[in-house]
Structure 1
Amino acid sequence: MEGRVATPEEIPAAGPFSGAPTWLLGLVPLVLIIASIGTFAVLGGPGLGERTGPPVEEVAIERTVLEPGVIELTVRNDGPDAVTIAQAVVNDAFVQFSGADEPIERLRTATVRISQPWIEGEAYEVALVTSTGGTIVHEIPVAVETPEPDLSFFGLMALLGVYVGVIPVALGMLWLPWVRRIPATWLRGVMAVTVGLLAFLAFDATLEGFELAGEGSQAFGGSALVLLGAVVAYLLLSGTTAWMTRRKAAAKAAGASAGTLALMVAVGIGLHNLGEGVAIGASYATGALALGAFLVVGFAIHNTTEGLAIVAPLAHQRVRVGRLALLGLVAGAPAVLGAWIGAAAFNASAAAFLFGFGAGAIAQVIVQLTPSLRDDDGRVLNPIAVGGILAGLAVMFLTGLLVAA
């Protein structure tokens, strides 16, 4: 019939390949592509010619360690050409350095140890001069000796993670008895406040990620890492939620049971707290002790409202104490892991990805919570919901003022 689209069964198979297995038909083009690329590489890229112009030098300072009389910098080559460090300058004075004896190839790192008697509390500007005359400038606003990453130091990081994540979330979960007694209209308002709290956390994580991405190596994607992390987290949590909902015959029309929603909220908050722990651990590891202490106090107060976000979906469900404790650990314990990561192996690019991952997870949780805001007329953005969302944003903004920018 004219205009009808043929079904796959009606499409005739290609003559020469009609008897070939399906897997072979998919494999042959892939092998040919790999073979052509390999041949082009072996022949040295015929037709491209020699590149003209000066080499492209892009170097990122990934880590700074201050020891008595020594400033140690970990540098990564972001550019396509090898970079050779020829000289080091501290506060406009040439100084002796060791390390980076060989050219630094693309995406490789090297450690430069600069002999410089620095004074605690003073500011320093360090410049690395390449063999072509290029200059990489790095600022040290306040010189403080970097703590030694020993067992006691990691114990301190664990304790700070408990202060920042576990205890505040547990205190916030004490709102559960109150949430269970309020009328249904008020409960919708509480759910709206939860959405506002989470929305602020998502914005905050995204901005933190972009800031870190600007400080780290751009060769790994820069700001795109934040967006990539967000997309990956959103898709992973969406798939996980669908799987959990399918396994629960009591799933609600909203798309997930109350227990599943509470778990998803805890996971989203936990991923955000992972990023906060990274920030705290990195501050202490780089010697910014005052900033680290300020972050601990600010985040602790900031995170007390997160417990409310976890228990709000459980208002009409009986939950064992053990289940509540598990939800609190899912949301708060990642701050401990984050503090360890930040203290031991802080990398701005990896931290940017983690913040983006947290933002994407929170965005997916907001999508799951949105149906619970509907009023009797089916409207999501009803007056109570809008007021609750704005209240949640305001609470997080005001408590966020306690956290150092």
Structure 2
Amino acid sequence: MWTLVCGVIAIIAAALTALAVFGGQTLPERTGPPVEQLAVERAVLSQGVIEVVVRNTGPDPVQVAQVFVNDAYVDFTGPAEPIGRLASRTLALDYPWITGQPYTVSMLTSTGLVIEHVIPAAVATPVPQPGFFGLMALLGTYVGVIPVLLGMLVLPVLRRTGSGVVRVLLAVTVGLLAFLAVDALLEGLDLAALSGGAFGGPALVLLGAALAFLALTAIDRAGASRVRRETGTRSGMRLALMIAVGIGLHNLGEGLAIGSAYAVGELALGTSLVVGFAAHNTTEGLAIVAPLTDRRPSLAALAGLGVVAGAPAIIGAVIGASVNNAALTAVLLGVGVGAIVQVVVQIAPGLRSRTTGSLLDPAVIGGLGAGVLVMYLTGLLVAA
């Protein structure tokens, strides 16, 4: 078998090599003009300088010949050689910009193509320093760890409810997670569009979601030596852990978005931001403890679940503030979507009624709607 597989691979490799070497010589040269595409990934503003990070998203090399800011020619330093496909370069524009003013950066290529980028309101880009990363870590704690831990405080109240109420709470959890998945998907698609499509555009979000779903499914299958829905502390804790992991991956993407927005001056830090995110993410703690209503896990275990779900917001904020890459953020948001979908698949069998066997009865439908509505209403409080 292995000999046959190696032989097939060798034949395919030889055929592709021959096609690459000799195939192009049999085709005519392209008669049209070069296809030039540049995507602006980031604009960094410092005193008297505008740095524009561009990436070639087209098939042909691009040479930037001149740069204009608001129709005025400016001196710039950049690559002497043409920018190759998928390569990224930085253009430093010598321009005395004014805070709060809008600017249009126009890049003229060697073939006469004009590529524009609009800066709606100029503001100095924060310089990453130890204090800056500390601020991002503090912000991630405020919007991630603390709200999740606060939401988990409802566990003693949930223990005093009946099995019917627990089933409705699981439906609420599914509604919460479904809203998070859709919200992250839409945000990821928007960010993927900003990346210029160099690495696949919207496909990045779907790729991240598929990989996360498959990876978490494999982990769950490997760790479940018995029937997954068996009764027992291990089963309840495993489901709670998977929910925490799914929410944590979502909060990682959320932290990336927060850090990226702050790095380019599009995020206003203040009480409204902290309170809004705290109210929005507190409901995530409810989703984590819902499978634990008939168990008594230790405080250390509960704290660990809260850290798993909330701490990724800290990591995301630090990475987003320092890297600020739309394609990376889109992939990680997709990872959060895939993780949440995998968790919903795990929770869904628990919604089935033990008496009637129905999955979607009025109680479950009401719980699903309540979860979606709660996330929507608390999301309105986020003034970012």
Q: TM-score range by the shorter chain?
A: over 0.9
1:147 aligns with 2:126: yes
The question of whether the paired residues in 1 share the 8 Å contact of 2:63 and 2:83 is answered with yes
How many residue pairs get aligned? The number is: 382
Q: What's 1:313 paired with? A: 291
1:70 aligns with 2:49: yes
The question of whether the paired residues in 2 share the 8 Å contact of 1:40 and 1:46 is answered with no
1:63 to 1:240, Cα distance in 2 relative to 1, 3 A? same
Q: Aligned partners of 2:342, 2:367: CA distance in 1, in Å?
A: 19
- Residue of structure 1 aligned with 2:95, choices 116, 121, 141: 116
1:175 aligns with 2:154: yes
Q: What's 1:156 paired with? A: 135
| 1:296 to partner: Cα distance | 4.4
Deviates more, 1:26-35 or 1:307-316: 26-35
Q: Aligned partners of 1:77, 1:293: CA distance in 2, in Å?
A: 40
Q: Aligned partners of 1:292, 1:72: CA distance in 2, in Å?
A: 28
What is the one-letter code of the residue matched to 2:363? Answer: I
Q: Aligned partners of 2:373, 2:279: CA distance in 1, in Å?
A: 14
Q: Aligned partners of 1:236, 1:347: CA distance in 2, in Å?
A: 24
Q: Aligned partners of 1:285, 1:195: CA distance in 2, in Å?
A: 33
1:120-269 alignment, distance < 5 Å: 120-246=99-225, 251-252=229-230, 257-269=235-247
Q: Aligned partners of 1:107, 1:189: CA distance in 2, in Å?
A: 49
1:291 to 1:34, Cα distance in 2 relative to 1, 3 A? farther
Q: Aligned partners of 1:250, 1:37: CA distance in 2, in Å?
A: 46
What is the TM-score when the length of structure 1 is the normalising length? 0.91
The question of whether the paired residues in 2 share the 8 Å contact of 1:280 and 1:295 is answered with no
- 5+ unaligned residues in a row in structure 2: which ranges? none
SS in structure 1 opposite 2:26?
coil
1:358-369 alignment, distance < 5 Å: 358-369=336-347
What is the one-letter code of the residue matched to 2:178? Answer: A
1:281 aligns with 2:281: no
The question of whether the paired residues in 2 share the 8 Å contact of 1:280 and 1:292 is answered with no
What is the one-letter code of the residue matched to 1:285? Answer: A
Q: Aligned partners of 1:112, 1:396: CA distance in 2, in Å?
A: 42
| 1:281 to partner: Cα distance | 0.8
Q: What's 2:312 paired with? A: 334
Identity of aligned residues (%): 57
What is the one-letter code of the residue matched to 1:101? Answer: A
- Residue of structure 2 aligned with 1:381, choices 349, 357, 360: 360
SS in structure 1 opposite 2:68?
strand
The question of whether the paired residues in 1 share the 8 Å contact of 2:205 and 2:334 is answered with yes
Q: What's 1:370 paired with? A: 348
1:297 to 1:57, Cα distance in 2 relative to 1, 3 A? farther
What is the TM-score when the length of structure 2 is the normalising length? 0.95
Q: Aligned partners of 2:262, 2:271: CA distance in 1, in Å?
A: 8
The CA deviation string for residues 106-129 of structure 1, in whole angstroms up to 9 with x for no partner, is 111110011111111111111111
The CA deviation string for residues 128-148 of structure 1, in whole angstroms up to 9 with x for no partner, is 111111122111112110111
The CA deviation string for residues 299-321 of structure 1, in whole angstroms up to 9 with x for no partner, is 22210100000000000112011
1:278 to 1:297, Cα distance in 2 relative to 1, 3 A? farther
- Residue of structure 2 aligned with 1:324, choices 289, 302, 326: 302
| 1:185 to partner: Cα distance | 1.3
- Residue of structure 1 aligned with 2:78, choices 99, 102, 108: 99
The CA deviation string for residues 56-89 of structure 1, in whole angstroms up to 9 with x for no partner, is 1111111111101111110000111000011111
Q: Aligned partners of 1:44, 1:67: CA distance in 2, in Å?
A: 49
The question of whether the paired residues in 1 share the 8 Å contact of 2:258 and 2:267 is answered with no
Q: Aligned partners of 1:130, 1:51: CA distance in 2, in Å?
A: 20
Q: Aligned partners of 2:180, 2:139: CA distance in 1, in Å?
A: 20
| 1:295 to partner: Cα distance | 5.0
Q: Aligned partners of 2:180, 2:80: CA distance in 1, in Å?
A: 44
What is the one-letter code of the residue matched to 2:250? Answer: H
| 1:401 to partner: Cα distance | 1.3
| 1:220 to partner: Cα distance | 0.7
SS in structure 1 opposite 2:104?
strand
Q: Aligned partners of 2:278, 2:379: CA distance in 1, in Å?
A: 10
- Residue of structure 2 aligned with 1:51, choices 16, 30, 45: 30
Q: Aligned partners of 2:47, 2:211: CA distance in 1, in Å?
A: 43
The CA deviation string for residues 217-263 of structure 1, in whole angstroms up to 9 with x for no partner, is 312110011111111111111111111212x5785189x81111100
SS in structure 1 opposite 2:224?
helix
1:61 to 1:89, Cα distance in 2 relative to 1, 3 A? same
The CA deviation string for residues 140-175 of structure 1, in whole angstroms up to 9 with x for no partner, is 112110111011111111111101100000000001
| 1:101 to partner: Cα distance | 2.3
SS in structure 2 opposite 1:143?
coil
Q: What's 1:303 paired with? A: 281
What is the one-letter code of the residue matched to 1:139? Answer: V
What is the one-letter code of the residue matched to 2:352? Answer: R
Q: Aligned partners of 2:34, 2:240: CA distance in 1, in Å?
A: 54
| 1:293 to partner: Cα distance | 7.7
| 1:404 to partner: Cα distance | 4.8
TM-align CA RMSD: 1.8
